[in-house]
Amino acid sequence: MNAVKEFQKNILAESIPNHPEDILLAFEDFELLMMRYESAIREIQTKLEILNAELSLTQADNPITSINSRLKKPASIYGKLIRQGNEISLESVEENLNDVAGIRVICAFVDDIYKVARMLVRQDDIKLIEIKDYIKNPKPNGYRSFHMILEIPVFFAKEKKPIRVEVQIRTVAMDFWASLEHQIRYKKGLPKEKADDIAAELKACADTIADTDLRMLSIKEKLGPVT
């Protein structure tokens, strides 16, 4: 981190220690920027809904069981910029953060995850920026999910803006585990020994869930296509 960024980090942290998000909210165009991210979410979510509707008619298949979206909160945006050593500005948010806008897609089966991802990136107005496959390469704690950073052009009154959105695709079982793991991980006051034991249990649960996902997929394949 260079001296200017270090100085900025220290000054900003000292000036509003309890409410760092106010720094971002004070920027004149912050709400406009968030509206643009929200618009990008709607663009991609609509594409996913259309694909799911088409497959339900043409192949009697609904690979997507639910779609959820979120915008990163100002405090989280600020915190990530600081952790990465980036300046605090709207331009910095756009240049350095890929997950301000997020969509979570829940599928019934593991093969549906890859089917949805392939269909989405084949669309010619979507640019694939990055893939992280935590299904084939789970995190050490057992976390599994398929992540993509996508860029989509969004048309506004006077301009067209490419906006990045993080899309996470996972099965119902993966999402269930991730939700519980998040709650437990942020539980305060756990002694280290107990926290380590719980981490080991969570990892074992993640492995069991992954095995169940594969077994359910095997059953689906044995049944063959639905007619």
What does the alpha-carbon distance between residue 169 and residue 114 come to, in Å, rounded to a whole number?
A: 9
Q: How crowded is the C-beta side of 194, counted as CA atoms within 13 Å?
A: 7
10 Å CB burial of residue 163 (0-12, 13-18, 19+) is buried
- Contact between 168 and 147 under an 8 Å Cβ cutoff? The reply is yes
10 Å CB burial of residue 60 (0-12, 13-18, 19+) is exposed
Whether 193 is catalytic? no
> Which residue among the candidates 159, 166, 193, 221 is catalytic per the annotation?
166
In DSSP terms, 160 is beta-bridged to: 155
List the alpha helices (DSSP H) in 156-191: 172-185
The secondary structure of residue 17, as a DSSP letter, is S
Of 188, 97, 202, the residue nearest 144 (C-alpha) = 202
Active site positions, annotated = 166
